[in-house]
Amino acid sequence: MNLHLVSRFKYGLLGSAALCALANVASAQDAAPPPQPTEVDDAAAADIVVTGSRIARSGFNAPTPVTVVGGERLEQRAITNVGDALNELPSFRPLVTPATQQAVGGNIGARVLDLRGLGATRTLVLLDGKRFVPSTTQGTIDVNLIPSSLVSRTEVVTGGASAAYGSDAVAGVVNFILDRNLTGLKGSIQAGISDRGDYAGQNAQLAWGTKFADEKGHFMIAGEYDRSDGMGDCYTRDWCPREQLIGNSPAGSGGLPASIRGGPAGTGTISSGGLIVANSGPLRGLAFNPDGTTHAYDFGTIYGTNPSPLFTKGGEESVRNGFLDGILLIPPVKRFVGYSQASYEFSDALKASVDLSYARSQGMVIGSVARTTQTIQRNNAYLPDGVAAIMDANAITAFTLGRALMDLGGSVNHSDNKTYRAVLSLEGKISDNWRWDAYYQYGRNKFRQDYSGNVVGSRVTNAANAVNVNGQVVCGINADASSANDDPSCVPINLFGSGNISPEAAAYIAPSGYQTTDTTEHVVAANINGSLFALPGGDFSIAAGGEYRSDKAVGAADALSTANAFWSFNGKAVNGSIRVAEAYLEAQAPILKDAPFAQTLELNGAVRRTHYRRSSPGLDTTTVNATTWKLGGIYAPIEEVRFRVTRSRDIRAPNLTELFGPVTLGRTTIVDPLNNGAQIQVNSFSGANQQLSPEKADTWTAGVVLAPKGFLRNFRFSVDYYDIDLQGAISTLGAQVVVDRCAGGQTALCNFVQRDASGTLTSVSDVLQNVSQVRNRGIDIEASYRTDVGKLGSLDFRLLATRYLKLEIGGIDRTGQTGYRPGTTTGVPDWIVDGTVLWDLGSVALNLHGKYIPKGVFDTTLVGPQDDGYAPGLPNSVNNNRVAGRFYLDLGATVKVNDQFELFGVVNNLLDKDPPLAASAQGATNQVYFDPIGRYFKVGARVRM
């Protein structure tokens, strides 16, 4: 997009929408037209249609707020993925990005959009108004697969929109709109690297379009390649090992709370060479050297009376902690997108187009190092002589050995995600007032993940029990009296000292696994819209249509994954289908226009009826019917002030992965309230639940837009309040919350908590559930101002902010929580503020981008000295329940060499701010909100011909 077209786009929006759309964020809400039509390119204004509904209208006159992000935002910020641009906006919670996927399997490197913090599955993603084939293992859309180089703008419809767009639009709709009229050639190339010399990235984009057949036809093709080398592990950044959550059991010991944020943390139950775990006696604290000899283990500082806690302060293992070792802060990701489109206008009554696209995204993560606790018998064949002598002298027959298998490293997981999409679209005019469109879409997503070196816990137990039979070391299960437990492939393992595991033993205990999911989608849809009759304020318009959609997923997984046998990355086969038939009707009634005290008065409504049919082999077929609706209104007493309000009922039916997807096994840290607040590592199951029901949400939005005249004629301001009450929400509570609520008397949740005969917690099932309620309230604020400064060019200012008032999930309010404690869900800050300033000098443009997240709470379920009711003896007490705020400043520059060529550069995190400390499963901070990279440089060039 050249600078002239950027200008046409900006002022086209001003004319049709009465909002200033800046060069780096073309974001706007409803407003009256600006008072100076001479600034507006009317032709450009006529070409820009921003709807927010199925009824096409010029401008931002819909009662539901619509934010528009222009392609120029990506250019000025040198962002090569439109998902990254959207995740900068305050209304999005960037929960699924490469920066949050350190040891998580699935679609590695995916960028999944999450409006309002309600979860990505409640954000509907469209491409040119059409659904996109599900492309993640969660049934959501990985926007890596959207051709970012062709996106001219993105419309973000906030608030409930299910009646207009269908299921999943509880939080809103993100509609990517491609530049379908591209002519000529455009391309770019850029590279980036961090101040520390890592996270190198390269991107190349090329697109070409042309008209043919006397401009009745149009063809374009585009390709995009992006590569990011990722980052190293926690020990590549000084801030990362500095904080973990250390337990103090029982709470109050030494006058300290139950949990202590500090570090670097050592380990009290494992070591990299093996640690004998005993509360007392001659073997306590013996750790094994590589040659099998022992030394007295340096525990560091142990808080509380538990002599073998999970974490300690300092100690020898704090130099390289087995819980952090090897896990990449950001995984490497490669993606390729190819897109082509051909269209032909036969007449005003018929225009046909065909879209073909292919996208591929590949990523790699390294899982957490496997940690094992084994009972070692005196007759173990590898038992060092020195330890054997101590056991004999003290009549000890067995001991417990804790070992972090750091010499094997974490499992390496490669994911490969391919998406194919073909769309045949037809559209045309019936008359001057009526239009129709229809399309058929075929989409297919092929996902595969392969993991190697993935430890199987049961095999470690088998191999660790090594015995000597006739001078040969064998696995004990093959030498005992029973043949039922034999495993001919078992290879005995020497756990005493790092580096003593043979390649054969490593291959036995850490084999490979895989998971595949093949998803296909067919969509047939048709729409008609037009005017029925005239009202005092304009034409009464309607839109109506129907859609049939079929989603089917078929998958496979290896036997060990299916049995949840691996330490991590256990994939499962997905096999099921959902068929959807729906019809809708939407109406727009302009009651008054240009009347006294009613410059504009308009009502809007929609209703949709949907039928779902869900099936999977071996399960009963189920059906679900749902009705959604929306009512809205716009009232402008004068030209400068516009009020808007909507009320809607929205639904989201569970998708294929939620119903029929995998249940996977992982590990998480739990503070056990029934065991004096002791920290314990347990198995954690997560994934699908075939008993899920549809969600229902009631949504209110209300706002006002100010568009003053006079000397403030280029100032625009809007504020919108939203309130979403989601009943039966499909989500996870978090393993910690499940345990806490079971202990607190919610017996239904105790079905998901397993303990052994002694009452020790062994596993938590944190599968998807229809939890009771999610409440989400907040305020969106937008302000913009543009002014000419004569020979010094022009200045554009924009401020976007979201004030989160409530994000209550399952009775727990996570508002203001900027920490991400293991075993819990992340929250939202009290505020997110995003601001931009563009100084355009013609041939040179400079821009500043700033983002502010204020001081927050570490975990809203904990109490610290800063909170009411704090007492060190409480099981949920913590020494510090606050997370520092951060302001990030980015600087960009563009130099226009000539009309065809420009150079650009961007420095992100210009002040090189480290993230605030907030112990998490990601290291020492919450990478959902805070930048782990540091100062980052990007340079490149663009060409347009």
**pLDDT over 70 at 29, yes or no:** no
Determine the Cα angle at 105 with ends 102 and 106, to 5°: 125
The confidence band for 564, taking pLDDT boundaries of 50, 70 and 90, is confident
Task: Return the pLDDT at 811.
Answer: 85
What's the rounded mean pLDDT across residues 838-867?
96
The confidence band for 815, taking pLDDT boundaries of 50, 70 and 90, is very high
The confidence band for 563, taking pLDDT boundaries of 50, 70 and 90, is confident
Per-residue pLDDT tens over the stretch 366-399: 998 999 999 999 999 999 999 999 999 999 999 9
Task: Return the pLDDT at 710.
Answer: 83
**pLDDT over 90 at 732, yes or no:** no
Which tokens is 530 given?
């037009």
Task: Return the pLDDT at 55.
Answer: 62
Burial class (CB in 10 A: 0-12, 13-18, 19+), 112: buried
Q: Say what percent of the chain tops pLDDT 90.
A: 72
Which tokens is 826 given?
């992340």
Task: Return the pLDDT at 917.
Answer: 96
Task: Return the pLDDT at 52.
Answer: 58
Q: Which of 38-47, 592-601, 633-642, 752-761 shows the lowest per-residue confidence on average (mean pLDDT)?
A: 38-47
What is the end-to-end Cα distance of the chain in Å, rounded? 10
Q: How far apart are CA 55 and CA 530, in angstroms?
A: 8
| Partners of 527 in the β-ladder | 437, 545
The per-type count for the chain, helices as H runs and strands as E runs, is 11, 45
φ and ψ of 406, to 5 deg? -70, -25
Q: What is the radius of gyration, based on Cα positions, of the chain?
A: 30
What's the rounded mean pLDDT across residues 687-713?
87
Of 28-32, 582-586, 919-923, where does the model show the most confidence? 582-586
CATH of domain 6-231+332-364+415-450+516-689+704-944: 2.40.170.20
The confidence band for 618, taking pLDDT boundaries of 50, 70 and 90, is confident
The confidence band for 54, taking pLDDT boundaries of 50, 70 and 90, is low
* Residue reference for tokens 């101040």: 195
**pLDDT over 70 at 86, yes or no:** yes
Q: How far apart are CA 100 and CA 113, in angstroms?
A: 13
**pLDDT over 60 at 646, yes or no:** yes
Task: Return the pLDDT at 635.
Answer: 96
What's the rounded mean pLDDT across residues 489-506?
97
The confidence band for 9, taking pLDDT boundaries of 50, 70 and 90, is very low
Per-residue pLDDT tens over the stretch 10-22: 333 323 333 233 2
* Residue reference for tokens 């480290």: 914
**pLDDT over 70 at 26, yes or no:** no
- Is the Cβ–Cβ distance between 327 and 410 less than 8 Å? yes
Per-residue pLDDT tens over the stretch 144-184: 888 888 999 998 888 778 888 888 888 999 999 999 999 99
Per-residue pLDDT tens over the stretch 310-350: 999 999 999 999 999 999 999 999 999 999 999 999 999 99
Amino acid found at 835: G
Mean pLDDT of the chain: 89
* Residue reference for tokens 């001081």: 855
Q: How far apart are CA 758 and CA 762, in angstroms?
A: 11
Q: How far apart are CA 459 and CA 478, in angstroms?
A: 13
**pLDDT over 50 at 31, yes or no:** no
Q: How far apart are CA 506 and CA 491, in angstroms?
A: 9
Task: Return the pLDDT at 46.
Answer: 33
Task: Return the pLDDT at 42.
Answer: 31
Task: Return the pLDDT at 300.
Answer: 96
**Secondary element (H or E) of residue 705:** strand 695-706
Task: Kindly give the pairing relationship between strand 123-127 and strand 172-178.
Answer: parallel
Task: Return the pLDDT at 885.
Answer: 97
**Cα 342 vs. chain centroid, distance in angstroms?**
33
Q: Say what percent of the chain tops pLDDT 70.
A: 93
Per-residue pLDDT tens over the stretch 422-446: 999 999 999 999 999 999 999 999 9
**pLDDT over 80 at 139, yes or no:** no
**pLDDT over 60 at 120, yes or no:** yes
- Picking from 496, 498, 488, the residue whose alpha carbon sits closest to that of residue 462 is 488
Task: Return the pLDDT at 51.
Answer: 52
Which tokens is 44 given?
């450009």
Which tokens is 801 given?
């902010």
How far is the CA of 535 from the CAs of 17, 62, 330, 591, in angstroms? 22, 18, 57, 6
Q: How far apart are CA 65 and CA 61, in angstroms?
A: 9
φ and ψ of 573, to 5 deg? -75, 140
The confidence band for 63, taking pLDDT boundaries of 50, 70 and 90, is low
What's the rounded mean pLDDT across residues 652-676?
83
What's the rounded mean pLDDT across residues 199-217?
96
Higher-confidence residue: 667 or 306?
306
Which tokens is 808 given?
């209550």
> Going by C-beta distance under 8 Å and a sequence separation of 6 or more, which residues neighbour residue 710?
none
φ and ψ of 256, to 5 deg? -105, 155
Start and end residues for every CATH 2.40.170.20 domain found in the chain:
6-231+332-364+415-450+516-689+704-944
